[in-house]
Amino acid sequence: MAQSGYDMYFDKCLFPVTPEKISIKINGNNKTVNLINEGEINILKKAGLTDIEFEAEIPQVKHPYAVYKNGFKEAGYFFDIFEGLKTGKKTFQFIVCRKTPVGKKLLNTNMKVSLEDYKISEDAKNGFDFKVKFNLKQYRDYGTKTVNIKIAASKPKASAEPKRETNNSPAPAAAQTYTVVRGDCLWNIAKRFYGSGAKYTVIYNANKGVIGGNPNLIYPGQVLTIPAA
């Protein structure tokens, strides 16, 4: 992969050198069984967890092709982050931002994952630099759902379904706040509040301190200010 066209992150940690290749495997849970009269059949099930593998260069010295968010950082800085994710049993967002050489945005990858294992290698042909091989696995949030059932004392009355918000919702008359959920992007949030995704810059400019320098990188749980129209 060309460094100029791809940026890769573990949460907000930008890899200084983008891997040459990334393998993303979507696993299946389908099951085949044999029926007496029908023979072998395939029972389709929900896809399994996705596996991601790649090897990345982590420089120990400065290189003109390496990119850093806030100046050069030695390899130890990144190793501390990797160790924290593994030993701390933390999930994080695996993000790949793709664009053409002229800056046109392409398909992005943004997936919640866990760091299954990683291997650090040193080789004389790489000088002082390191190679790190990563194995990541998709993480799906889960939990017990509680359902409260109320028994009506009398025959329940039919109630009208609340009017759903449309894409042409009027812009808010006063500033509001919005908590980012999984799958959100500024374009969709702007479309929801202003009726036009093109107004995402209004939200971004009001929340640069929360979002940072890249409007494409927002995370579940972030609280954004939605300016008035």
Asked whether residue 151 is domain-assigned, the answer is no
Q: For residues 113 and 183, state if they share a domain.
A: no
Q: Which domain holds residue 83?
A: 6-138
Final residue before a domain boundary, out of 138, 166, 194? 138
pLDDT of 5 strictly over 80: no
Look at the block and give the residue holding tokens 């120990």.
60
pLDDT of 6 strictly over 60: yes
| Mean pLDDT, the chain, integer | 86
Report angle CA 67, 221, 172 to the nearest 5 degrees. Answer: 105
Asked whether residue 146 is domain-assigned, the answer is no
pLDDT of 171 strictly over 70: no
Count CA atoms closer than 13 A to 148's CA, side-chain side. Answer: 2
Q: What is the mean pLDDT of residues 173-193?
A: 85
- pLDDT at residue 131, as a whole number: 96
CB 119 within 8 A of CB 82: no
CATH number, domain of 213, equals 3.10.350.10
Q: In angstroms, rounded to a whole number, what is the distance separating the alpha carbons of residues 84 and 222?
A: 22
Asked whether residue 170 is domain-assigned, the answer is no
- pLDDT at residue 88, as a whole number: 94
Chain segment 198-220, per-residue pLDDT in tens: 888 888 888 888 888 788 888 88
Q: In angstroms, rounded to a whole number, what is the distance separating the alpha carbons of residues 206 and 197?
A: 16
| Cα separation values, 57 from 75, 108, 130, Å | 10, 21, 6
Q: For residues 10 and 122, state if they share a domain.
A: yes
Q: What is the mean pLDDT of residues 96-113?
A: 88
Q: In angstroms, rounded to a whole number, what is the distance separating the alpha carbons of residues 55 and 120?
A: 10
- pLDDT at residue 3, as a whole number: 46
